[in-house]
Homo-oligomer: A and B are copies of this chain.
Amino acid sequence: MTDHRSGPRRRGATLLHAIFEATLAELAESGYANLTMERVAERARTSKASLYRRWPSRADLVAAAAGHALPADEELPDTGDLRRDVLALLRMIADRFDGPLGAAARGLMAETLHHPELGRELRSRTTGNRERMMRAILGKAVRRGEIDPDVLTPRVVLTGPSLLQLHFLQYGAPVPDEVIEQITDEVVLPLVMQKGWHRRTGTTPTGWIN
C-alpha cells in the first residue's frame, strides 16, 4: 500500500488531475463495479476522506473524471462557422478517445455488455457532457440564425457523438478523419440544418429562425 503522505503536498489542479487520472485508470483496469474510493485514493496518493469531501459517491467521481477528460468549456471551438465547429469538436472527442478516457470507455463498455444495469446511472451523467458540448457549438449557430433550435432534440444533438463513439468502440483509436468528416457532412449538418421538418410532421414551429 502506497503511503499517500510521502512526496510533496499537491493542491488544487495538480491533485485534481491526479485523482481524475487515477479514476480513469481504475475504470479501465477494474471496471465500474469494482471501482472503490479506496483504490482511487491509493493510486492518486491521497486520502479516501479527501475524495468523499468532494464527491459523495463513486458515480459522482467517475462522472467528474470523464468530464475532466473532455475539452473544457473554454477550449470548445468557436470559429464562427458551424461546419468547422462541428468538425473541431468531433476531432477533440476522437482525440480524447485515443487516451485514458478511451481506455475507461472501453472498460466501461466491456462491463456494461455483461451487466447493463451497472452503467445506467453513470451513463446519464457522462452522456450529459457530450450533449452539453454539442449544444454549446450548436447554440452559436442558432444565435447566428443558421439553425432552427426546434430540431435540436437530445437524440439529434447526440447523434454525431454517438456515431463517433460506436466507431471507436468497434474499430478502436485513432478514428480516421474521413469518418469524422462523413459523420459531420452526411449526418450532423443535414440533421441540424434541416428545414421543413414541421411541415412534414404537421407540428407547429415554436422557435423558427429565418
A95 to chain B, nearest CB (A): 17
- Look across to chain B and name the residue whose beta carbon is closest to the beta carbon of A182: B155
Does A112 count as interface, using CB distance less than 8 angstroms? yes
Q: Mark A188-207, 1 if CB is under 8 A from B, else 0.
A: 01110111110011000000
The yes or no answer to A106 lying at the interface (CB within 8 A) is yes
Residue of B119, B170, B190, B191 near A116 (CB, 8 A) is B170
B155 touches A183 (CB 8 A): yes
Q: Is A136 an interface residue (CB 8 A)?
A: no
Instruction: Determine the main DSSP class of A at the interface with B.
Output: helix
The residues of B that contact A106 with a CB separation of less than 8 Å are 113-114
- Binding-face segment, A52-60, A70-78, A158-166: A158-166
Chain B residues within an 8 Å CB radius of A156: 186-187, 190
**Residue in B closest to A115 when the chains form the complex, CB atoms:** B172
* Closest CB in chain B relative to A208 CB, distance in Å: 15
**Of all chain B residues, which has the CB nearest A186?**
B155
Closest CB-CB distance, A43 to chain B, in whole Å? 22
Name A's B-contacting residues (CB within 8 A).
106, 109-110, 112-114, 116, 119-120, 123, 151, 153, 155-156, 159, 162-163, 165-166, 169-172, 182-183, 185-187, 189-191, 193-197, 200-201
Q: Which residues of chain B have C-beta atoms less than 8 A from A197's C-beta?
A: 190
Closest to A194 in B: B190
Q: Is there contact, CB below 8 Å, between B109 and A169?
A: yes
**Residues in chain B near residue A159, CB distance under 8 A:** 159, 163, 187
Q: Is the CB of A109 within 8 A of B113?
A: yes
Q: Who on chain B is nearest to A195 by CB?
A: B196
Chain B residues with Cβ under 8 A from A191's Cβ?
Answer: 187, 190-191
- Whether B116 pairs with A172 at a CB distance below 8 angstroms is yes
- The docked-state distance in angstroms from the alpha carbon of A26 to that of B114 is 16
Contacts of A110 in B (CB 8 A): 110, 113-114
With A151-B190, A182-B153 as known contacts, state yes or no: A169 contacts B200, CB within 8 Å.
Answer: no
Which of A165, A166, A195 is most buried by chain B, counting CB atoms within 10 A of its CB?
A: A166
